[in-house]
Chains A and B, each alone.
Chain A
């Protein structure tokens, strides 16, 4: 009796194990990089993949590692691809270069490709409400007065046949069956109540692996933090016969150890107030990567414990060495530290401008009118850079298209018609939809291009002002 019982149990366990292994996978990574002005860039990335197994009307029937909350929301509201970011702070391109993952503006940004059905608008509204309940944020404020449909910006990232010949057309053009919807809430605050449900989507939650380092008290004490989820369908093989749904959760933050100790040294204990006690058992890949500083002077910096593995990472002409720690193999509790042999950190006198960045600001004063100006800098000495500028202005700022001016304010002069290749403009409708301005610009090398447009401020009913009307309105 006992033996047959044991055999049955083991058969069941083996079947379940093989089924589980075939259908889902989970990877986690933490990247640390010292920035030029003494700050530390950290990037957590958690990737969960789930095979499509259509059954009935549903795309998947079993959820193991993949969070059911996300899977059900995606299926129920017909979202092909979903991107949601919660950001506080401004990414300082001039000093920090480019982030690893796509950066986002302050507040909440939500963009999704929704399947084109008759109920696409109700689905979008229901999607924002469902996400607001899931993440404890006021995403339900993303209604038709804020939602826009960019035509040129945002490329869909899913179902792209990566191995296919890039010269051929994409085999699966998402714009055939789905439409992009974009909405942002610049004034949305980000706090522990948003992080908690985000962590609960991870298979190991906050109990094991890299995610144990996510300490809200330290994360929200940083110069910049951005928490995101990106859901997209991907192909498992070259011919895209087998499809998967990929969920990428990222937390990007910029710590400032110099603020506390006046030196650049850091450790997990000083940054996150925690150490990694155990690795996540269901992760197929769980590692910490440190992009080592390029300073070659002896003993300028040291890293403990020393890496068991390293690799080279090439960006442009620069090659950086990366220390790799596999969490399944390190000694726990794992506390990584970097020591700098300096008495006090001296801020670099030269800012390290990246090749391309922009600066957007409002001009004018008073309650009647104003202007919007964007300076786009192209520091490439030889290259002409094509960019698409996208802006969604709320309806209470009436843009005047005839005042739109695009010119090169520093560098070789180019006519406006040569700068703008294509424009898409959607005028606002009061209390109904925002203005959308999209322009495809080609920036000459070594130049500063300025885009400016003027607007009038609509005279609002007093009930349309926010409860804290003294603050005014946040516009992007």
Chain B
């Protein structure tokens, strides 16, 4: 296997020399810590990232999947409100429910039976819509701007289309690549900037996916599926890792090249199985339900009091006629709506607020790959 890394002894020597130079040559300045300096320091991230990106995917089509569009738009509204600009958000909606002829309230999408909040608003930018939301476009968008040092990828992942396995390799144009070759562009060169994921190694990415899913798969638009290993391969490419069939147990040494940290949130049936295959570093995953469990939409009776039943299609708006939000996303929003850009709330607080009884399923959190403690 071709190696592009210097040998360990060389690396150690270089490190020692660098440290020595730092300590001997540079005088040490002690910055006085003033209250203002502390406040300024507080603006910079404690995690070390410099920019944020969000990829929000709704994979369901048809009017009765209104709640999946509403889920995704709720997250869109939240990330925009908390400061991520449209240029750093990729929003993929598989169907248009706001201007759907069945929608009694044109150009609006609600996530609440009381219709308190219009998620569509005046200023929404949908990057991939309708038939463009496919597994291929999702994977191409995530792996698009590939760096030179990705050397080899074995296509052991299938993109399933109703029983016909097609090798991911045929899409990925796999071949060994040396650092001297130009980057592998996996998106078409004509792709506009608003549809590209232009992250770097200091970007924190939030990936949110919702739709219909099952044990290690997520259905795209009733026609195709993406499975858990595809997600890992896609994410793995972002890490510029070398992946091969016989080194699945090797721990990664190269740091991620296209992201700093990633939060992968998924709200489907049996969602926690989707991230079970991920082993790339610095990924925090959370899902709405365990293996064997379905995810439900929230119940809200006409009197606006909460009650739980185990039948789907509740939290129904009787004028719109379908369920308008899923419970996992609803309770995430209950927490997120109470914070704003100046908040110091931590992920631990978010995860502690999950109540399996209220959500009607067991939400999962996978943090073994995530280095930073959740309460920082």
Q: What's the dominant secondary structure at chain A's contact region?
A: helix
Is A133 a contact partner of B107 (Cβ separation < 8 A)?
no
Tell me the bound Cα distance from A221 to B191 in angstroms.
32
Residue of chain B at shortest CB distance from A127: B190
Q: Which of A141, A191, A216, A219 contacts B96 (CB 8 A)?
A: A191
Given contacts A136-B129, A468-B61, contact A192 B107 (CB under 8 A): yes
Interface residue? B62 (CB, 8 A): yes
Query: Complex Cα distance A67/B193, Å?
Result: 18
Once the chains bind, are A189 and B99 in contact (CB under 8 Å)?
Answer: yes
Contact: B98 with A192, CB < 8 Å? Answer: yes
Q: Is there contact, CB below 8 Å, between B190 and A220?
A: no
**Chain A residues closer than 8 Å to B127, beta-carbon distance:** 133, 136
Q: Is the CB of A466 within 8 A of B131?
A: yes
CB interface residues, B 253-267, toward A, < 8 Å: none
* Residue pair B124, A193 in contact (C-beta under 8 Å): yes
B141 → A minimal CB distance (Å): 13
Assess A220 versus B130: contact at CB under 8 Å? Given A136-B125, A192-B122, A468-B62.
no
| Chain B 108-129: CB-based contact to A (< 8 A → 1; otherwise 0) | 1000000000001111111101
Contact with A along B125-161 (1 / 0, CB 8 A): 1110111100000000000000000000000000001
Interface residues of B in 181-237 (CB under 8 A from A): 188, 190-195, 220-223
- A:459-475 near B, CB below 8 Å: 462-463, 466-468
B357 an interface residue at 8 Å Cβ cutoff?
Answer: no
Interfacial chain B residues near A360, Cβ < 8 Å: none
Contact A221 B124 (CB under 8 A): no
The smallest C-beta distance from A463 to any residue of chain B, in angstroms, reads 7
Chain B CB within 10 A, most for which of A190, A196, A206: A196
A129 touches B122 (CB 8 A): no
Question: Is the C-beta of B37 less than 8 angstroms from some C-beta in chain A?
Answer: no
* Cβ < 8 Å to B, chain A residues 113-161: 125-126, 129-130, 132-134, 136-138, 140-141
Q: How far is the CA of A157 from the CA of B105 in the complex (A)?
A: 39
Q: Is A220's CB under 8 angstroms from B194's CB?
A: no
Assembled-state Cα–Cα distance A141/B128 (Å): 12
Is A220 within 8 A of B107, CB to CB? yes
A466 vs B107: C-alpha distance in the bound complex, in angstroms?
A: 25
A192-B124, A220-B99 known; A463 and B192 CB under 8 Å?
A: no
- Known A189-B96, A190-B99, A191-B98; judge A196-B125 contact (CB<8 A): yes
B162 within 8 A of A: yes
Q: Which residue of B lies closest to A217 (CB)?
A: B107
A88 cross-chain contacts in B, Cβ below 8 A: 99
With a 10 A CB-CB cut-off, give which of A134, A140, A462 has the most chain B CB atoms. Answer: A140
Q: Which residues of B contact A130 (CB under 8 A)?
A: 190, 192
B123 x A196 contact (CB < 8 A): yes
Interface residue range, chain A: 20 to 34
Q: Is B48 an interface residue (CB 8 A)?
A: no
Partner of A129, one of B124, B125, B191: B191
Nearest-CB distance from A77 to chain B (Å)? 10
B contact residues around A219 at 8 Å (CB): 107
Q: How far does the alpha carbon of A136 sit from the alpha carbon of B128 in the complex, in Å?
A: 8
Asked if B162 contacts A462 (CB within 8 A), the reply is yes
Q: Closest A-chain residue to B222, C-beta based?
A: A467
Which partner residue on chain A sits nearest B164 by CB separation?
A463
Q: Which residue of B lies closest to A216 (CB)?
A: B107
A235 to B92, CA, bound (A): 43
A466 to B194 CA separation, bound complex (whole angstroms): 25
Interface residues of A in 317-357 (CB under 8 A from B): none
Tell me the A194-241 residues at the B interface (CB within 8 Å): 196-197, 206, 216-217, 219-221
Residues of B within 8 A of A462 (CB): 162
Which residues from 81 to 119 on chain B have a C-beta closer than 8 Å to any C-beta of chain A?
Answer: 94, 96, 98-100, 105-108
Q: Give the residues in chain A near B220, CB-CB below 8 Å.
A: 467
Please, which residues of chain A bring their CB within 8 A of the CB of B96? 189, 191
> How distant is the Cα of A188 from the Cα of B125 in the complex, in angstroms?
16
- Contact between chains at B99 and A191 (CB < 8 Å): yes
Residues in A neighbouring B121, C-beta threshold 8 A: 192
> Given A129-B192, A136-B126, A192-B120, is A220 in contact with B222 using a C-beta cutoff of 8 Å?
no
- Return the chain B residue nearest A131 by Cβ: B192
Query: Is the CB–CB distance between B131 and A467 below 8 Å?
Result: yes
**Which residues of chain A are near B94, meaning CB under 8 Å?**
467
- Do the beta carbons of A129 and B188 come within 8 Å of each other? yes
A133-B129 in contact (CB<8A): no
Question: Which interface residue of B123, B130, B194 has the most chain A CB atoms within 10 A?
Answer: B130
Q: Which one, B126, B131, B188, B190, contacts A193 given CB within 8 A?
A: B126
Tell which of B61, B62, B195, B223 touches A133, judged by Cβ atoms closer than 8 Å. B195
- What's the nearest-Cβ distance from chain B to residue A202, in Å? 14
**Residue from A134, A188, A190, A217 with most neighbouring chain B CB atoms (10 Å):** A217
Q: Report the Cα distance A317→B170, complex, angstroms.
A: 66
Q: List 6 A-B contacts (CB under 8 A).
A: A133-B127, A133-B192, A133-B195, A137-B129, A191-B107, A463-B161
Extra pairs beyond A467-B220, A468-B221 (15, CB < 8 Å): A88-B99, A129-B192, A130-B192, A133-B191, A133-B194, A189-B129, A189-B130, A192-B121, A196-B122, A217-B108, A219-B107, A220-B106, A467-B94, A467-B221, A467-B223
